[in-house]
């Protein structure tokens, strides 16, 4: 029971953290004018964030804890590269998923 309540407290706390971090500078409102150079500088931030989420999923094993676990026999690398090529050529999500998962699964059997 005690543990149960703690989990719900934690969930509310995490929702609060989401709201707080995502509106961190928004909360300041018109008190602060964000300088143009800062806006200029963060142009590539959203692209970089998504790449940073994706890249380790392709180049490291699922349960990896560090870059030391990189090796060319990982099926994700081959599946990922195949998916990138498939998307470049076709721009079709379904084909990309089938090719990527197909090569990934095949590589898991043979490598």
Partner 1 sequence: MTSEQKRAFIEGFKEMSRFGVTILTWGFVTGIAMAKSSLTVHQALTMSLLVYAGSSQLAALPLITVGLPIWMILITSFMVNLRFVIFSLGLQAHFSYLPMWRRILLGYMTADFSYFFYIKRYPTPQSTSERHADKDHVRLYWLIGMQFSNWALWQVGSIAGIFLASQIPNSWGLEFAGAIALLAIIIPMLDRAAARWAALAATVVAVATYGLPFRLNIVLAIVAALIVGMVTDRTPRWVAP
How far is the C-alpha of 51 from the C-alpha of 71, rounded, in Å?
A: 20
Selected from 1, 47, 72, 110, the binder of partner 1 by CB under 8 A is 47
CB of residue 109 to partner 1, shortest distance in Å: 11
59's CB contacts (< 8 A; 6+ apart) are 70, 74, 76, 77, 80
Is 101 a binding residue for partner 1 by CB under 8 A? The answer is yes
Spell out where 48-95 has E strands.
none
Q: How many C-beta atoms surround the C-beta of residue 102 within 10 A?
A: 14
Please report, as residue ranges, which positions from 49 to 68 form the binding site for partner 1 (by CB under 8 A).
49-60, 62, 64-68
Is 89 a binding residue for partner 1 by CB under 8 A? The answer is no
Q: CA 50, 53, 18: angle at the middle one, nearest 5?
A: 80
Binding mask 5-44 for partner 1 (x = CB under 8 A): -xxxxxxxxxx-xxxxxxxxxxxxxx-x-x---xxxxxxx
CB of residue 73 to partner 1, shortest distance in Å: 15
Is 74 a binding residue for partner 1 by CB under 8 A? The answer is no
């Amino acid at each position: 029971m005690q543990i149960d309540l703690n989990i719900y407290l934690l969930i509310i706390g995490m929702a609060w953290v989401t709201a707080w971090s995502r509106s961190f500078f928004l909360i300041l409102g018109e008190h602060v004018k964000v300088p143009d150079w800062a806006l200029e500088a963060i142009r590539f931030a959203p692209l970089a964030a998504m790449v940073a989420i994706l890249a380790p999923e392709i180049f490291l094993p699922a349960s990896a804890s560090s870059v030391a676990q990189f090796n060319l026999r990982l099926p994700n690398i081959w599946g990922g590269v195949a998916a990138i090529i498939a998307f470049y050529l076709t721009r079709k999500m379904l084909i990309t998923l089938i090719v990527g998962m197909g090569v990934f699964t095949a590589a898991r059997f043979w490598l």
